[in-house]
Structure formats: C-alpha cells, structure tokens
Structure 1
Amino acid sequence: MVRFLMGVMLSFVLMSSSLYGEELKSFSNLVKKVEPTVVNISTTQIIKAQRPTPFDFFKEFFGESPFDFDMPKDFQRQSLGSGVIISEDGYILTNHHVIKDANIIKVRLYKSKEDIEATVVGKDPKIDIALLKINKDNLPYAKLGDSDKLEVGDWVIAIGNPFGLSHTVTKGIVSAKGRVIGSGPYDDFIQTDAPINFGNSGGPLFN
C-alpha cells in the first residue's frame, strides 16, 4: 500500500519515476520537470477587534462615532506558504497550518504574476494536510510517490517560497525515516537536511 508521509519540515514527498535510481550529477533536469508544479500560497486572516467600547451603543443608531479614532480596529494578518499541483484541473496539496483560519487564499503559479483565488475543498488538521482548488485547466502536475521506497542517504530537493522568494530550490539527503516527534496520531516522519525556511511549509520534496 502506498503511504504518504509528511517530512519533518512538513513538506510532501513526491517521486519522479523516470529519474529514480539514477546517479544524479546535476539536479537541473529534475528541477525543470517539477518546478512548474510548485505554487506560492498567500493567505489573509481578518482579525476582529475584541475590546468593547463605550460608544458601541451609539453605533446602533448613528453609525461610526467620531470618538472611535483611538479604539481597536479590525486588522489583517498575512502569511506565506507553498503547495504542489496534483491534477491538471487545479487541485493543490499544502499543509493545513498554511491556510488555517484564512479568510482569503491566493495562489501564484510558476512564472506568473497573477494571484488566483483558491478554495479549500478538504482538510485534515490531525495530519496537517489541506486540499485547495483553483479554476484553471491544463496545469502541469506532480504525482505522489511511494515514500516507502525512500532510503536514508537518498538525494532530495525541496522547492518552495521561503521568505517570499518564489521557487527557491534547495538540496539535501534523507537523514532518517520513521521519526517520532510527538506531533500527532500519525507520528511517522521523514527527516531531511535540505534547507527549509519560513514559507516552505506545504511545499514538496522531490527525489
């Protein structure tokens, strides 16, 4: 049975079958093949002001009060993450914590300047996975691999959006398998030493 295991850095393990098992002197061919399947994700969460004011009563009758200038206002919290396209009709895998509590989710495709609004069609907080959908067709997509076939010492690359730097590629190896870190009911992680930073969450790990 094919199992899908989350990496320690909360990325997805994918497999390029045509390159699996080959001795790679360069990752350029693999990067060219899979980079278009990776997306940048930006989210906006609207935080409501919680503290009541003495002028709330008057708002019911007169609207905004001129005395509200020093009162708490709603504000927006923005966050960045990554994802990977898994079907040509616009389904995208990412981490649940990337889109958690977001009011607006936008996706940017490879070499695009357009932000596309995405909807959440499925999520499982226990294993930190979310499935998004965008209204696009004929997209390049990655196929999920069999993480049971990974071996400690295998070369891997991570592609993501660290610090907002789109489609950054880093490399490393599989450092360990079956890591237990006390993070949930499915505590069976793959560890890698590929550099992972803020914004990589939800992005793929390729071999």
Structure 2
Amino acid sequence: MSAPSVSIDDQRDALFAELAEEFNAFDRLGRLVRKVSHLVKPSVIHIEAHKTETNNGKYESYDEAGSGVVVKVSGSDWILTNRHVILGASPNEILLRSADGRQFRPTRIYTDEGTDVAVMQVTNMDLPAARVGDSESVGIGDFTIAIGSPFGLSHSVTFGILSAKGRRDLSLGDKKIDLQDFFQTDAAINPGNSGGPLLNLRGEVIGLNTAIASSSGGSEGIGFAIPINMAMRVADELVRYGRYRRGYLGVVLDPDFGPNDLGSMDQIPSGALVKTVHRGSPAAKANLQRGDIIVRFNGAQVENDDHLVAQVGMTPIGSNIPMIIYRDGKRYRAEVELTDLN
C-alpha cells in the first residue's frame, strides 16, 4: 500500500512552520537591537556647528552636522564627540539637540588635536549618561550598533560587526590624528556619524565613530571608531587638566623598519627601530641607544613604529614602564618613566 501523497499546500505549510521557527531565533536578535537603540538614543546628541573658513581669500560659512554621546567623566556629565565636528565653531555657534527635541548650547569645550577627541559641558542638560564598556574585551566579529546623524538625519541607527582592530597609519583627509588605534566596522557610517557612539549588544559604548574610507563620500562598509578606553582616557585628562597630557618617550623611530629587516632574529616577530634618542629624554635616562629594537612595551608586543607611538601616547605620564629591547642581537630589559610631551 503506497503512502498518501502530500499536497503542495501541506508542503508549503510545513516550510512556513520551519521558517517561523528559524525566524524566532533571528527575531530575538532584532528585538535586542531595538532595545539597545531605545535605551541609548536618549544619550545621543545631534550636533550642528556653524563654521567659517577662508578659501582663496574669501570667507565661506557653512553648517556641519555631527553627533555626540553623553558620558560620565570624572563624576560629571559631558558630551563626548570628535574635535573635527566642532572645530572652527565658537560655543554660541554650536547647537546641540537631544532625541526628545530639546536644544542646548555648550558652556565649556575642551579638545585634543592628536586624538580628535573633544568634550563639551552643558548647564542643566538632564539627560541620561550612556554606559561605557571595555573596548579591550571587544573581538572581531562581535555585533556593533552605530547611532548618529548621517547626512544630518539625527539619531539614525545602523547595525554590523567589528571588522578589525588596531587600524593605524590611516590617511584621514585633512584631519591630523597622531595617535591612531582604530576599530573598523561595517555598520554603515556616513558624514554626520562622526562623534556618535559605537555600541555592543549590551548597550555599552565601545567606540567613538570618527571616519569612513570611501571613494564616493558615503558608506562603503569601512568605518573607523576610536576605542572607548582611549577616548575616555583623553576625555578624563581634558576635564581634569584642560588638555591631554600625552606620554613622551623621546625617540625618533624608523618608519621604514619592518619584519623583513629583522634578518636572522626569528625570535622577534616585530618591533620598532630607534633612529635617534633625544638628550635628557626618558629614553636617554633609560639608556636606550640608536639601533635598539623595542619589541615589547608595557607587556605588549610592539607591532611597528605607529603602534609604539600610540602605546606611548596613551600611557599615563609618570608611569614606570617595562620594555624589552634587542641590541646587537641580544635581549635586554629596560624601564622608562614617561614624562609629559608638552
């Protein structure tokens, strides 16, 4: 006796049931993204800066949109953003708008050129501060959410993953950013997202969206964010001291030095070659010499000159930092006490 045939309608119903079951798992992720967006949006600020610049002897005025996020810095609420978002605008030319439509003007502004980080304070802002995460714990492939004002469209939400970490030596137009250690994400980031938060699915800020790599001027799936640990360290210094006190080692490094120059030293995967040691600098006091290869700094492997510059620049001044160097093929330990670059 043959088995009863299954109708096309029954087959379709069975497929719809399978689809519904699989969708439930996917829908939980969608609901999580909605919860994160709902939770963090009140902490995100739309920024409009009126700027004036000279072009061929003529003054040109224009408005530029960007984003910011309210965070706790040294116990007070501050708006964290990128320096380039507000550069060239005075406090009364900067309009801040919250997700509920309220408008504010900043009363205090501090910026740092070397990291492109800025903080602004507003009197009686009364907005919730976003929760700050740990950017060191973020891994490649983790889901990310970006909130900002792409092309002036305030409080827009995009979703993606963390594509890479430790992006350095990036050419970012006319923006001078010396200390680079960017996250890369494929969450859509466009002009106007700058200064807004990059979030994890716990609703924590893990980065400050800063730049895009694009030939068209729009999102092409390659956006960059300053890791939040780095941004918050700069913000804390700005609030406490009015400037970022950048760590100073006192060496000139060879930018052309790479793994191929290590020769037979297979035990050294990477490092930074010292070309010059400045007299009286922390490096000189630690007895570093021309030709030394710095391979570890504060316990971390040194990848190249840009990596070491970022590590030194983000290390608190006054810290006694262990280093491992190679000199004439031999391994040495050294300790350096960093001072303030300024």
TM-score where L is the length of structure 1: 0.71
Structure 1 distance, partners of 2:65, 2:108, is 16
Structure 1 distance, partners of 2:131, 2:117, is 16
- Aligned partner of residue 36 in structure 2, secondary structure: helix
1:94 aligns with 81
- Aligned partner of residue 36 in structure 1, secondary structure: helix
1:198 is matched by which residue type in structure 2? P
1:102 is matched by which residue type in structure 2? A
Q: Which moved more, 1:27-36 or 1:129-138?
A: 129-138
- Aligned partner of residue 85 in structure 1, secondary structure: strand
The 4+ residue runs of structure 1 with deviation greater than 6 A are none
Structure 1 distance, partners of 2:125, 2:107, is 15
Q: Please give the per-residue CA displacement for 1:79-117, whole angstroms capped at 9, x wherever unaligned.
A: 1100001149651000000011113111001121x4311
Structure 2 distance, partners of 1:190, 1:108, is 27
CA contact (8 A) 2:166 2:181 kept: yes
- Residue 119 of structure 1, CA deviation: 3.7
Q: Please give the per-residue CA displacement for 1:94-153, whole angstroms capped at 9, x wherever unaligned.
A: 0000011113111001121x4311144311111000001112243111132210000101
2:35 aligns with 29
1:107 aligns with 96
Structure 2 distance, partners of 1:131, 1:81, is 13
CA contact (8 A) 1:41 1:106 kept: yes
Select which of 138, 155, 161 maps to 1:150.
Answer: 138
- Residue 38 of structure 1, CA deviation: 0.4
Structure 2 distance, partners of 1:46, 1:115, is 22
Q: Give the RMSD, CA atoms, in angstroms.
A: 2.3
2:52 aligns with 46
CA contact (8 A) 1:89 1:136 kept: no
- Aligned partner of residue 86 in structure 1, secondary structure: strand
Structure 2 distance, partners of 1:175, 1:48, is 38
Structure 1 distance, partners of 2:76, 2:194, is 23
Select which of 189, 192, 205 maps to 2:185.
Answer: 192
Q: How is 1:12-23 mapped onto 2 (pairs within 5 angstroms)?
A: none
Structure 1 distance, partners of 2:56, 2:180, is 36
Q: 1:25 to 1:117 in 2, by over 3 A?
A: closer
Would you say how many aligned residue pairs link Structure 1 and Structure 2?
A: 163
CA contact (8 A) 1:123 1:130 kept: yes
Q: Which moved more, 1:175-184 or 1:185-194?
A: 175-184
- Aligned partner of residue 136 in structure 2, secondary structure: helix
Q: Please give the per-residue CA displacement for 1:28-80, whole angstroms capped at 9, x wherever unaligned.
A: 111111111101000012346985xxxxxxxxxxxxxxxxxxxx6x5522111
Whose helix proportion is higher, 1 or 2? 2
Structure whose CA Rg is larger = 2
Q: 1:49 to 1:146 in 2, by over 3 A?
A: closer
Structure 2 distance, partners of 1:205, 1:169, is 10
CA contact (8 A) 2:139 2:162 kept: yes
Q: Which moved more, 1:131-140 or 1:147-156?
A: 131-140
CA contact (8 A) 2:104 2:125 kept: no
- Residue 24 of structure 1, CA deviation: 3.6
CA contact (8 A) 1:86 1:142 kept: yes
Q: 1:189 to 1:158 in 2, by over 3 A?
A: same
- Structure 2 residue 152 is the aligned partner of structure 1 residue 159: no
- Structure 2 residue 115 is the aligned partner of structure 1 residue 127: yes
TM-score where L is the length of structure 2: 0.44
